[in-house]
A and B are shown apart, each in its own frame.
Chain A
Amino acid sequence: MIALALASILLPTVGAALIALSPRSASKRLGQIFAGLATACLLVLAYQFSVGGKIPAEYSVINFGGVEILGFGVDTVSVLVACAVVGIGFLISIYSGGYLDAGNREHPDIVRRRYFAFLSLFIGAMAGLVFSTTVIGQLVFFEISGVCSWALIGYYEKPKSLYSAAKALIITHIASLGLYVAASVMFLETHTFALSAIGGLSETAKTIVLLAILVAAWGKSAQLPFHMWLPDAMEAPTPVSAYLHAASMVKVGVYIFARALMSSNGAPELVGYVCTIMATITLVYGFIMYLPQCDMKRLLAYSTITQLSYMFLGLGLSVFGSQMAFNGAIAHLFNHAFAKTLFFLVAGALSYTTGTRMLPLLRGVLSKSPLLGIAFVVAALAIAGVPPFNGFFSKFAIFAGGFEVAQQHPLLMVLLVIALLESVGSFAWFLKWVGWTVPGRPSEAVAAASPVPLSMQIVLITLIVMAVCSSFIAAIWLG
């Protein structure tokens, strides 16, 4: 199994190198092929893993002087998340093939090698991060993903996008100091970088390590006070936003924190309080910031911020002893990846066909392009948490888990109520835009839209299906 996991990390990386070396015209195909291969590897891995009874396994890859520097671990959570991030990476590669061409109304483009090279590298880095069992490994892939994201956000090379890219990089880099601290403290206390050692730390050290990781996680997952890079990162090409800022990179934060909690053997309550309180504050802030947004992608960016807050809320609640909240957070990570990717890709398809992504200009999408209309509705409802779409199921678990532990902690009850209100609020807001955008007579921009390329259609349909199925997959997988 380790071979497959390694393959899923190395294949895209090799792909990136090949893309950099081969002519521009081949970059598209190469990117898609390698992402596809990695996905295939992971699917086989997932199959073998579940057939083998889902027994977690760890493998050291690089050791030095008896200390594990880099190791990869296969367990239920990592396989699930890896399948999502790599699989979506593959979908995005396909979509990008259609999106980045001269027919794009918003950003006509010839595909530069840079795009697929960094995208491939990013996929590899994400897989690496997901499977990594050492803090150092996480830190390394964390930073690599940061660089790739920087390169991809600034892809269009406009001053604004370059500025946004630098901002994203710097802010996440500052936050990554948390991971530096965590790794250092861990190493100095235990002489190992293995995540599993967190459980053996003294209470104080554990608190420091977890809080430090939490800070890094906030940075990557765009939580207050590090959130400001994400809305600006919408300068990226839309498939990139979909992948990095919905499915994968922003999840890194949640994921590393989840991993730390998993191996912490019971985290101090302080960590739980910090995590939940900040999550709630971000939740409210993100919601308020929905209101003035007209740019669809910016709206989605804020929505991503709040959805990530739900995950942090779940993780924070799990500190108080709720396994259900933890599973909910992981499932939400998985579900949200599909739903938000779909939503971003709809935004991308809209700007591809109409040349704008300003919501006020987009009306009557359904009659012009039923697929986009349906996808829009599905994505919005999934994000808003309406069954049978996936968002509901994981949010439900988070809340259920929360109420489970809130009885003993009145403050948590308050936070949960705020979160519930927020969920109603964001539901209202998305419903409003669904009502505005999807039904009715097409607006000028929409009426003049060009058709959606086939590759993009296929990806959208796949994601619509996943937006319904993913929660069941996650639920079955996580047990």
Chain B
Amino acid sequence: MSGLQIVNGLAGLLIVTSLLVVVARKPSQSAKFYALQSLVLVAVFVALGSATNAPQLYVWAAVAFVTKVVLVPVIMARSFGRLSDERLGSGERISPAVTVLLAAVVVLLCTLIISGVTLPAAAGIKPALAISLAHFFFGLACIVTQRNILKQVFGYCLMENGSHLTLALLAGSAPELVEIGITTDAVFAVVIMVILATQINRKLATLDADQLTTLKG
């Protein structure tokens, strides 16, 4: 099993973990699953780093570990635990089964799209690339299909992980500072989202995105 195959396999694992994040009942549970997923991502970085002999990816992995496996899940778990909205229920627009199906379709579509790409950098890692893209879109689907705004935050995080992976796959050679900037952004984004969600919950006593439709027209 070559290094790249490991990368591809681990990437597949990402989809599974993200499904867990989406279908989890409680936000705090989702946060744990997200930590798990980020761990997988770190593993992918390491594997990729060794496979392509790109030492800077180890730095990436380290940074990702600190921020995504530790920092963000902790923040989320701590703040989300306090937020609740009884009326919301699960907040799903579609059932978990359909979500799984959706994930499958997205992966399939992305594989199709990526198969057409003729980028030299993407030669050996097409499956991983497809999955990273699928991951991104799956996160987007999460934002669209989940009414719970906390789940929407997770959706954003999934998207972010997907694009992060893409970045690593395609632009692994980019300077580290870039990666740090992106990660910082992600962390700040999550922080601000959490603060906003908290404020919304406090002010409007809801976590339902469908309640946030007073501004229209």
A and B touching (C-beta < 8 Å)? no
- Contact surface of A with B, Cβ cutoff 8 Å: none
- Contact surface of B with A, Cβ cutoff 8 Å: none
